[in-house]
Amino acid sequence: SSFPHQEVVGEESEEESNGVNLMEFSDEILLHILSYVPCTDLVLNVRRTCRKLATLCLDKSLTHTVLLQKDYKVNKDKVKQLMRDIGKEIYQLNMAGCYWLPSSTIDHVTRCKNLVKLNLSGCHVTSLRLSKMLSTLQHLRSLAIDVNPGFDASQLSSECKATLSRVSELKQTLYTPSYGVVPCCTSLEKLLLYFEILDRSREGFMLSGQLMVGESNVPHYQNLRIFYARLAPGYVNQEVVRLYLAVLSDRTPENLHAFLISAPGSFAETGATKNLLDSMARNVRLDALQLPKAWINGSGLLQHLKFNNPFYFSFSRCTLSGGHLIQRVINGGKDLKSLTSLNLSGCVHCLAPESLFRKAEDDIDSSILESLVVSCCNLRHLNLSAAHHHSSESIGNHLCQLLSRLKHLLSLALPVCSITDVAASVEKPPSTPNLVPQTFGRKVRIGIQTYPRNLGDQANQKIESSVFWALMGSLRFLETLEIIGSSFSSAMPRNEPAIRNSLPPCVRAQSVGDSEVAAISQLTYLQSLTLAQLPNILTGSGLVNIGLQCQHLRTLSLANLGMMGKVVYMSALMDMLKHCKCLRDLR
């Protein structure tokens, strides 16, 4: 009776001997595999399986950096156990956005005595709790926190202030008018400020931009190299950021290399900010610059600022003409190989010699774009959206043909009307879409033939000769692409004032449709795609091409495709999503 059993056991052992045992891999390979497992899972579960994994799970390469952000299975007890087991081995801890953890969870961070970098953005931390925690973290050099109503800097202990005095990098998100911990950080080199203060309290009272009682201490900027401020809409945010800038205007740091202010809407220049910019023009050489449009428009500021080896420029929504761009920024065709990021979003005249007598829809001057491409040949990120960049009929000077020379581009944003072939836009506009009124009125039944299943034969001859097809073919390493109508405005913008009135699409955009979308499928490494206000989308067949070919796509955002209020591409979108195995964000 035991013979059959022995036979089965024999077969199983033979299979095991022929198979590959995971534990037979080298330590290097196993460590690489384990690096994809959340640290809490490694320490609390995986290391309890066998002696070898118990040793590997505590390897410094796996415990050096702990990421709890978006690890939704983590609770207070698991964090407590994690800190007890490996607290002294953690050098970087990211708890950003862990809103589900109670504030008392922060108390366990005190076990991480060797912590160098700590991110608590999105976690509610009181002044007393922050003081107790920071008092024990003597090696801390980088900190990210939120400053909420009720924060009181006078409650910070001397030991806490000693820790803050050694911090060189601070990210501070403000939900109330305050300097936060900035005055305590006397060694700051990098300061990132996010202003999220509401104009009204929860009870509906108007708020003031005046700082709270006990905020007499001022920031220390003498070692500052990077200053970045991003403002959400609202006048209180503008009032508070001016208090931060007032200190800068008194004495501008000599080592300041990057000065970036992102402000929605109008942020007027004052005497203090003008003094600051004049001081910067005299005393510093910048590598990165972004200013509110009102500070640049109509001023000769760009002519006086000095740049070292600039890598980032943002002139979003400025009335900057192409002539000024070439003369003052590129310095008449000066070699700017160091520049890797250029934001000209909303600069409607940036590719024209002058803006005085020019209409926004007039053709661009291709020589200006050519100078830009030649001088800034190493650009990685380029934004030309929110403007009408219409190419002329001259052969070889189309915007897409000139941009195809930028072989290093990783992200690109273009208006829809800029990618159309000039010959196609001059011909009569497509007739089928015009049968459908561009309104949200009574629904109209329209006969739309289903998209072709044989995608390979879909009007290939027409599209492969287009300038946009050639551009997509030349930018093989592009990871982020935005094709947005020049008249498009988001219904719920994050950091811009809401605009309720939506303008009709540009006339040249009427010829951009499914075949142009199909051209995007050449971007093998595409990770993020935004398409907005493409009126000539009829079936969405190009989306299926993208789903099949762009296997790394993680983010997809679609808005106003086809005629307004007529979503006719849903069938194609469903087919596309079957192939998007890496998609994480769909809008």
Residue-level pLDDT at 3:
46
Tell me which range, 217-231, 324-338, 475-489, is most confidently predicted by mean pLDDT: 475-489
Residue-level pLDDT at 536:
92
What contacts 233, CB < 8 A, 6 or more positions away? 264, 265, 495, 496, 497
> Strand, coil or helix: what is 210?
coil
Cα-Cα end-to-end distance for the chain: 64
Q: Beta strand 258-262 with 226-231: parallel, antiparallel or unpaired?
A: parallel
How far is residue 90's CA from residue 63's CA, in Å, rounded to a whole number? 6
Please give the residue that has the higher pLDDT: either 209 or 523: 523
pLDDT tens-digit profile of 147-164?
999 999 999 999 999 999
DSSP percent split of the chain into helix, strand, coil, nearest 5: 35, 15, 50
Residue-level pLDDT at 582:
95
Token couple for 132: 């107790």
How far is residue 44's CA from residue 57's CA, in Å, rounded to a whole number? 10
Residue-level pLDDT at 31:
95
The share of the chain scoring above pLDDT 90, in percent, equals 60
How far is residue 314's CA from residue 297's CA, in Å, rounded to a whole number? 13
Q: Name the nearest CA neighbour of 64 among 100, 31, 27.
A: 31
How far is residue 277's CA from residue 203's CA, in Å, rounded to a whole number? 39
Residue-level pLDDT at 442:
45
pLDDT of 185 over the 70 cut? yes
How far is residue 406's CA from residue 365's CA, in Å, rounded to a whole number? 18
Please give the residue that has the higher pLDDT: either 422 or 273: 273
Residue-level pLDDT at 566:
74
Residue-level pLDDT at 16:
54
Residue-level pLDDT at 358:
73
282 phi, psi to nearest 5 deg: -85, -35
Q: Name the band, by pLDDT with cuts 50, 70 and 90, for residue 431.
A: very low
The residue with tokens 């910067």 is 280
SS3 annotation, 384-429: CCCCCCECCCCCCCCHHHHHCCCCCCCEEEEEHHHCCCHHHHHCCC
Residue-level pLDDT at 433:
41
CB atoms within 10 A of CB 384: 24
pLDDT of 437 over the 50 cut? no
Looking at 1.10.10.10, 3.40.50.300, 3.30.420.40, 3.80.10.10, the CATH number of the domain 467-492+503-586 comes to: 3.80.10.10
Tell me what the mean pLDDT of segment 403-423 comes to: 93
Is residue 514 within 8 A of residue 538, CB to CB? The reply is: yes
- Can you give the length of the chain in residues? 587
pLDDT of 387 over the 50 cut? yes
Is residue 406 within 8 A of residue 367, CB to CB? The reply is: no
Sign of CA dihedral 330, 332, 338, 339: positive
Cα dist from 142 to 164, 169, 170, whole Å: 9, 5, 6
Residue-level pLDDT at 443:
46
Indicate the DSSP class of residue 256: -
Residue-level pLDDT at 495:
65
Residue-level pLDDT at 8:
45
pLDDT of 1 over the 90 cut? no
Indicate the DSSP class of residue 577: H
pLDDT of 13 over the 80 cut? no
Strand partners, 192: 171, 228
How far is residue 284's CA from residue 256's CA, in Å, rounded to a whole number? 6
Q: Which helix (H) or strand (E) holds 457?
A: none
How far is residue 548's CA from residue 228's CA, in Å, rounded to a whole number? 40
> Strand, coil or helix: what is 474?
helix
How far is residue 385's CA from residue 475's CA, in Å, rounded to a whole number? 18
pLDDT tens-digit profile of 190-205?
999 999 998 877 777 7
78 phi, psi to nearest 5 deg: -65, -40
pLDDT of 423 over the 70 cut? no
Q: Name the nearest CA neighbour of 210 among 233, 166, 240.
A: 240
Angle at 131 between CA 261 and CA 76, to 5 degrees: 95
The amino acid sitting at 426 is V
pLDDT of 227 over the 70 cut? yes
User: What average pLDDT is seen over the chain?
Assistant: 86
Token couple for 525: 């490494």
CA atoms within 13 A on the CB side of 182: 32
pLDDT of 426 over the 60 cut? no
Strand partners, 483: 414, 531
Residue-level pLDDT at 565:
66
Q: Name the band, by pLDDT with cuts 50, 70 and 90, for residue 496.
A: low
What contacts 514, CB < 8 A, 6 or more positions away? 451, 458, 536, 537, 538, 539, 540, 541, 542
